[in-house]
Amino acid sequence: MGTFQTFQTVRRYEEALSRHAQWLRWVSGITCPCLSYDTGQPDPHCPTCKGRGRIYTSPGKFKLLNEIVRHDGDGRVYPGYVPVAEGSAVVYQRDVAIPLDPIQPADRSYVQLAAPFPKAWEVLTIEYEYDPDISVVDENSQVYGTNLLRVIAPRFVEKGKQFEGSIKSVSRVYNVTKDETYTVDTSFKVYIHLNDMGTWASSDVLEVDYVYQRPYPFMLTGISPKIRYNNPYVLDSADSILVTPYWAQVAPDDLFTAMAVEQTGRAVIDPRTESGVFNTISAYYDISRLLRIIDRNGREYSTGPGKDVEIFGRNELKWNITKPVLPITAQFTYHPTYIALDQMHTLRNSENKAFVNRISLKQFDRVHDKVEY
């Protein structure tokens, strides 16, 4: 009976996390080598870190500990997060590891046990690494503007809302109709920018091979003075607390972007401060949509792919016309971004098994870009 009660308690928690968690994009931060040894300041024109002083990359695989797992009578164990990193899964029954079948499913959507199989009603737990990188091969992509493609697979729907993954790398862009392979310039969010598409027709079939990352389902909880009082391990400077069932190795400058939330922001930009066709909105990390661009004389520019100005990357504007010389105001929506302050994990007292991590977060600097005229 005690084991049954423990199972119900843990299962209720995991189901609550599944119902109420928000989808967050997590990127880890490392120091950019452009920082000056004398002043410690980044190069404002650095093409790698965009003048932030930090390079943000994928956190890679991360480990899930002691997950109560669903399984059937044929030895198939279904983890809560797939694909499972190859060779990482360990399945336990009453804290004793169960042998795995040497042949595992190619898509890593479940873990196959070796015979004899445990009964379907027996409680199993699993420890494994979750790999958020998804490989897509031979996808038909959309042409979204001059030398610009949009891929489809990163878009997925959870809990009635649509979320987007983020392209990590592109290995091939191929025009099947003309038997031409294009050279990739950059990739960002769900877009691929090519060096040159040459001559193409709307009927051409384009195939793309790429790797993208899904956001992660975390539970983001606001911090109040009462919560700080009852939980002294929460840092006073934290704006929120991140609750996760993962063993998340978080650094103080990692960024968590709340994909399920959009807020309206604005920035005043002097386009002349950057060369080329780009302008960076440095105070925001993950801009989702451009709403309006208007200059000091009241001229309004059209926004969107292939129009006067569009989003490029996570927080850049790309001008498809001659860049204006007057200061402009940009209005947009963005996903709130939090930076990790500290990581402190707690232990589940029941059966001395690891439970959840609690990570204190503060909101990333959102001061408006401002220039003096």
Query: 157-167: b or e for each residue (b if 16 or more CB lie within 10 Å)?
Result: eeeeeebbbbb
Asked whether residue 73 carries a pLDDT value surpassing 50, the answer given is yes
In the predicted model, what is the mean pLDDT of residues 233-242?
A: 74
> What are the pLDDT digits (tens) for 349-362?
333 445 567 788 88
- Residues forming a β-bridge with 310: 318
- Bridge pairing between strands 148-150 and 124-130: unpaired
Q: Rounded distance, CA 256 to CA 27, Å?
A: 7
> What are the pLDDT digits (tens) for 272-310?
888 888 898 888 888 989 999 999 999 999 998 779 998
Is the bond preceding 336 in cis, omega lying within 30 degrees of 0?
no
Place of tokens 């972007």: 257
Q: Rounded distance, CA 87 to CA 104, Å?
A: 9
* Distance between start and end Cα atoms, the chain: 73
pTM: 0.80
- pLDDT given at position 239: 83
Q: Rounded distance, CA 287 to CA 34, Å?
A: 25
Q: What is the DSSP letter of 97?
A: E
**Cα separations (Å) of 58 from 54, 164, 212, 255?**
13, 15, 10, 10
**Residue 61: how many CA atoms within 13 Å on its side-chain side?**
15
CA dihedral 302, 305, 308, 310 (to 10 degrees): 90
Nearest to 35 by CA among 19, 18, 51: 51
pLDDT band at 333 (very low <50, low <70, confident <90, very high): very high
One-letter amino acid for residue 85 of the chain: A
Sheet containing strand 180-182, edge to edge, reads 133-140, 206-213, 166-175, 180-182
- pLDDT given at position 10: 56
Lowest mean pLDDT among 150-159, 202-211, 220-229, 309-318: 220-229
Q: Rounded distance, CA 314 to CA 330, Å?
A: 15
- pLDDT given at position 174: 94
> What are the pLDDT digits (tens) for 8-49?
455 666 666 667 788 888 988 888 999 888 888 888 888 788
DSSP 3-state of 357: strand
pLDDT band at 6 (very low <50, low <70, confident <90, very high): very low
Asked whether residue 182 carries a pLDDT value surpassing 70, the answer given is yes
Q: What percent of the chain has pLDDT over 70?
A: 86
Sheet containing strand 148-150, edge to edge, reads 142-145, 148-150, 191-194, 184-188
Asked whether residue 124 carries a pLDDT value surpassing 80, the answer given is yes
Q: Rounded distance, CA 64 to CA 309, Å?
A: 42
- pLDDT given at position 111: 96
Helix (H) or strand (E) holding 229: helix 225-230
pLDDT band at 74 (very low <50, low <70, confident <90, very high): very high
Lowest mean pLDDT among 52-56, 124-128, 213-217, 224-228: 224-228
- Residues forming a β-bridge with 54: 31
